[in-house]
Every structure is written in C-alpha cells, then in structure tokens.
Chain A
Amino acid sequence: MREVAIVAFGQSDHRRDSAEVSEVEMLMPVLHEVLDAVGLRAGEIDFTCSGSSDYLAGRAFSFTMALDGVGAWPPISESHVEMDGAWALYEAWTRLLTGEAETALVYSYGKSSPGDLREVLTRQLDPYYVAPLWPDSVSLAALQAQALLDAEDAEDTVADERALAAVAARSRTAAEDNPHAQVTGSPPPEALLGDPYLVRPLRRHDCPPVGDGAAAVVLAAGDTARRLCHRPAWIRGMDHRTEAHSLGVRDLTRSPSTRLAAERAGAFEAPADLAELHAPFTSQELILRRELGLGEGVRVNPSGGALAANPMMAAGLIRLGEAAAAIHRGAADRALAHATSGPCLQQNLVAVLEGDVL
C-alpha cells in the first residue's frame, strides 16, 4: 500500500468569541502556516478537503465562503464533509492512497460563539423522537456519565466523580504547555468536587469549553512526504465506525465503534507511546481508554485535549494534528489519534501514526 503521512499541522488560538473575524479570516493564517511549513503554494496542492457545519454558522453552504482562503480560482479539486475535519482527512487519505493525488490540504473550522451551542447540537438528533424534546449536548453526555458511574459502582472500580475530576485536572494542567488552548490550569481534583453540578453528574470541569477555532494539516505520499518533512508522521492505518442511532439501543458505557475502528486501524498490533483522544467530556476519556486498552505507560492528551479547547468540527482533526506534530518533533514514535462526532461518542475514528526511526 502507498505510504501517506501528515507532514504539517497548524491551528488557531482557540477562543470563546472571535466575532471580529469571519470564518475565512480566522482560517487563513492557519492555512498559510501549514503551507509555509512545507513550502507549497495553494495552487500546488492536488486535493483539498474541509470539514465544517452550516448549523454553527447559521447559514447555508457556509463552507463556500471559506474556500476563498485556499485560492479556489482557477478551479481546484475540492471536497467538503459536514463533519469534523478528521473525516475530511480520512477522505483525503483515501484519495492519496489511490494515487490520484500526491499532496492534500485538509482544514476545518467552527465558530460556536454566534449561536447557543447546546441548542444548535440538538439539530443533529433524530428529528422524530428526540429533537422535539431539545435535549442539549451536555445533558446527553451527562446521561452517559451517569451510566458509567452506575456501571463502575457495580464493578467496584474507580470511575467515580473523583476520577472524572482527575481527568479534567490532568488535561487542563497539561494544556499550560499548549499556547493555543482556550482553558489552561486547574485546581487539584479534590477542589473541583466542591463545584456545583452543571447537569448532574457533570460539573463545569467535566465539560469542554465552548469556543471558536480552526486547524489544518498537509498530507503527502511517499518520497514527496520525505522531501517536505524532516520526520513525516506516517498513517499506518485509519478507520471509522458508527453506532446505532438511538441512544436507548446502545450500552452507553462502552464504545464498540471505537474498539472496532482501532482494531481495523492496527492500533492493537503494537503499543503506542502517545494517544490524542477526542473526549469532550471527562467520562468519555475513561470509556475510550478502556476500549483502546491504554495503560498507564501511554501519554494521553499532552495537548490538553478537547477539555482544554473543543472547537466544533476542528477538535478531532486537531487530535490527528497534535499526534503528528509529536512525531515530527521526535516526542513520539507511535501515536494513536482518535476523533469523535455526534452525541455520546456516536461516531469514532482512530488513526495509527508512526515516525521513521532516525
């Protein structure tokens, strides 16, 4: 199979509100950053793929405006997913695997600040039985968290509220080293437990910040990747799977789609030293760790993860980018990257990235 690698990654600073810039104005510096990193101009990229959502923007075909930022004239080969950019990366990866393209630009962005994100996300739910009740995204995650707490009670293990708080504290403390993060630093877990519930059993620290941001990566195949990047992050495998639509059909304490995607991506063939997990809620990290079989030896979300910055439609792509960047700078040799989309870990994508041993 053709070798394909992530050769550049860039992201914006993630902020609660970026009203002073339009989507394309927010995105453009990030596009320039990744193109500059590999010394390519927009017109030299073979394939461009993006991820975003009209519901965040409140406007139809909003992605077409952002296309101005990539120099879409004269016409380019381009595609878009109404989803997290991780899935745009998947599409671009398959395009490179077929040999149709040698390089690809993948970007995604989302501005949550114009709307009420918890309400906006209800529009992705089953329109007959669920959406008319307007269950907001935090409440759905709280149902999943409670299911996990109840199950762990029964199994007499440690997924209690303190374990959730520990995930939050570790993530946001790690984010102090991430200049792009929206939320950094945390009191110790014990102190967090004194906070009121947002939607019980979730407290504010269990939930991701709401914010605006953008990310971009450049993919390249084979020798082109070696030419563009000192240490390419080779994509050894990638797969994505989805669960049953109805929450009441699923065991919310498990994520079989993550497990299956990881298996098909080759995640279990050798241990990873780093994992970037897209777990917007603390309880979801515990579920993902179990499905991916991550032991204590694996560094999880040294970037701070989605608990430190969760720009909708970009946070999953950022997990792939952060994992790749760790390989680029020699901070990891084999990394897992995970992205999710939809309520309660509805869809999951897992990629295995490796650097050449230098």
Chain B
Amino acid sequence: MTPAPSPEVLQAPLIVEFPFTRSLGPVQSAFLTGLRTRTVLGVRTTDGRVLMPPVEYDPVTADELSDLVEVAPTGTVTTWAWNPAPRRGQPLDTPFAWVLVRLDGADTALLHVLDAPGPDAVRTGMRVRIRWAGERVGAITDIACFEPYDGAEGGEAVPHSGEFTDPVTGIVAPARLDYTYAPGRAQSRYLKALADHTIRGERCPSCRKVYVPPRGACPTCGVATDEQVEVGPRGTVTTFCIVNIKARNLDIEVPYVYAHIALDGAGLALHGRVGGIPYEQVRMGLRVEPVWSEDSRYPDHYRPTGEPDADYDTYKELL
C-alpha cells in the first residue's frame, strides 16, 4: 500500500452572494412603505397591544392582524449593547450602540442602532428619536439610526389606513458571506495530483473499491479511504447525454456531449465533457482520454483514444 502523503492544506476563497427578492404581505408592505414617507406604523392586536414593528400574526394568540396604527418617531431604549467595532453591512461605520427601542405608542420594541458619542452616553431608559435616511426606498434601513432626544414624548397610537400611493410590495435583500474553502485531506490530494495531470483515486480498505474523485470516506462501508491509486488516464464512456442549451458564461458550442466516464482502475464513473468527435458519434463503450489545456489544473475534456470500444460487460457495473 502506498502511504498517503501528508498534504499541505489547500484553501481558496469562496464567496456566496445572493440578492434575495422577497414579497411583502399587506402589513409589512404598509410598514415599509410608511418608512419611505417618515410614517411609523404598528399593528394593534385583538387584545389591544400595539406591536411595532408590525407583523401579520399575533405571536401570542396567532390571530391575523391588520389594524394598523401610527406611532411616534420618538421612544425609549429598553436595552442596549455598545459595539466598538462596526462590521460590514451594519447601519453605521462609527462605533454605535445596538438598541431595542419602544416607540411612544407601541408596546414592543424595534431593533436598530443608536448614534451616540460613547457607551457612557447610553443607558436603558434613555429617550431617542429616529434619524431618517436621506434617500428612502421602503426598507428598514430608511431609518438611518436613532439619536438621543430630549423633546416631548409622543402620544398614543392613532389609527392609520395603511394606504399609500405606489406602495412597496417587495424588498431585495442582498447577502454576501465570505468563506475560505478547504476541501480536506482526500480532496486536497486529488486536486494536487490533478494539477500535475495525474488522476488519483483512493481505495476503500474494506470493500477495495477505488473512488474518484475521493471524498475521504467509502459510502458503503463508512470508513476512511486511504490508499492512493492512480487511475486512467484512459477510460470508457458508460453513459452520456447531449446538451442542447448553452449555459450562461460557458464558452462551449452546443450541442455537446456530457458523459459518465469510468477511468481504468476506478470503481465508479466521473463526469466529463467528450470532445474531438462529432456529438452524434459518441456512444457507450467509447474509449477516451483526458485533454489538458495549457496551464489547466483539470482536464478540459475527454477525447477518443482510437481504441476499439470496450465490451459492455467491462463497464456495466459502473453506469
């Protein structure tokens, strides 16, 4: 058995980024549209409390709620936390306090941030008011932040129709998370070998099957695959499909063939594109070999070797 080399850890940046487009129900729509016009809406529950921010169902009774009311843009801090180091995406880029604020006229609190000179200027019970964003689009960030306020207290919540011209019916919530992807031992070994134009599988110590690409475990036996086995480079097309739709950002002429290819010595087939042959001539049993484009760290595609086709019995277990 070839002892497994201790691989250096491969790592690469992985960015997961997506703009979530979300539709709003009637209550959320009214609330966010209201913010656009500097109007703060809550919703009255069937037992008379005012929830702000408003929701469509009472978290206590599960009653459906629609009785909108307007509350004041001033309120009281119910708890706070001083954040000395703002992070990406947060509302302020200078140190600030996270706060829960109960607006005058409301019975529940809104999470937002408070612009204050330092933690000594913040306390539970302090009075604050909304500082509006200059440009408002119908989003929670239309409230730029809260700021200290020593003026008069707002009154009771008053009924509001919730009707606005051109109501906001949806939001786009962009999200981005940054990762450092590390594929682990087995896949690191595979990728490093691939960079040297070698395809390496790993053998299960129990059932002796050779996995390629290896993921570190035999899914049949539930044990680590450890023995390194060089497979291919030649292999056999076990099954295939003809792709007729061009994928975005993919510079390959359609139609083309995508195939399962059982490399010689491998216990299962991997995926690859078949080129160097008219698509309609690709067939089960076709013998192929990888083609590495210059500086490529993986095979660009597989092409026919010119050998006679493999006998069905030699690959029927690998479909």
Q: Which residues of A are at the interface with B, using a C-beta cutoff of 8 A?
A: 19-25, 28, 31-32, 42, 55, 58, 65, 67-74, 113-116, 118-120, 123, 127-136, 139-140, 142-147, 150, 197, 199-202, 244-249, 252
Contact = CB atoms under 8 A, between A and B. Distances in A.
A28 B183 contact: no
Contacts of A19: 9, 11, 180, 182
Contacts, number: 193
A22 B111 contact: no
A71 B100 contact: no
Contact of B180 (A23, A114, A118, A142): A114
A315 B180 CA distance: 23
11 contacts: A20-B7, A22-B183, A68-B218, A69-B217, A131-B173, A133-B113, A133-B140, A143-B100, A143-B111, A146-B81, A248-B111
Given A202-B81, A245-B55, 18 more contacts: A19-B182, A21-B185, A25-B224, A28-B223, A42-B221, A67-B219, A68-B218, A71-B222, A114-B181, A119-B177, A123-B175, A127-B20, A128-B28, A128-B173, A132-B139, A133-B140, A135-B98, A143-B81
Given A25-B224, A128-B140, A146-B124, A248 B182 contact: no
Interface stretch (B84-92, B156-164, B240-248, B311-319): B84-92
A68 B111 contact: no
Contact of A31 (B52, B91, B222): B222
A189 B84 CA distance: 23
B113 A28 contact: no
Contacts of A201: 81
Contact of B98 (A23, A67, A143, A249): A143
Contact of B79 (A25, A136, A150): A150
B140 A129 contact: yes
Contacts of B218: 68, 71
A144 B111 CA distance: 12
6 closest residue pairs by CB, A with B = A22-B184, A71-B222, A248-B109, A142-B81, A134-B89, A244-B59
A197 B55 CA distance: 34
B223 A132 contact: no
Nearest to B52: A248
Given A70-B222, A127-B20, A197-B82, A134 B215 contact: no
B53 interface: yes
Q: Could you say which interface size class chain B belongs to?
A: 35 or more
Nearest to B176: A119
A145 B82 CA distance: 12
A133 B111 contact: yes
A136 B91 CA distance: 12
A146 B80 contact: yes
A131 to B, nearest CB: 7
Interface string B203-223: 000000000000111111111
B143 to A, nearest CB: 9
Contacts of A143: 79-81, 98-100, 111
Contact of B222 (A25, A28, A144): A28
Contacts of B59: 244-246, 249
A231 to B, nearest CB: 27
B60 interface: yes
A68 B177 contact: no
Contact of A116 (B98, B100, B178): B178
Contact of A21 (B20, B79, B184): B184
Nearest to B60: A244
A115 B80 CA distance: 27
Nearest to B55: A246
Nearest to A19: B182
B59 to A, nearest CB: 4
Interface in B180-239: 180-188, 215-224
Interface in B48-83: 51-53, 55, 59-60, 78-83
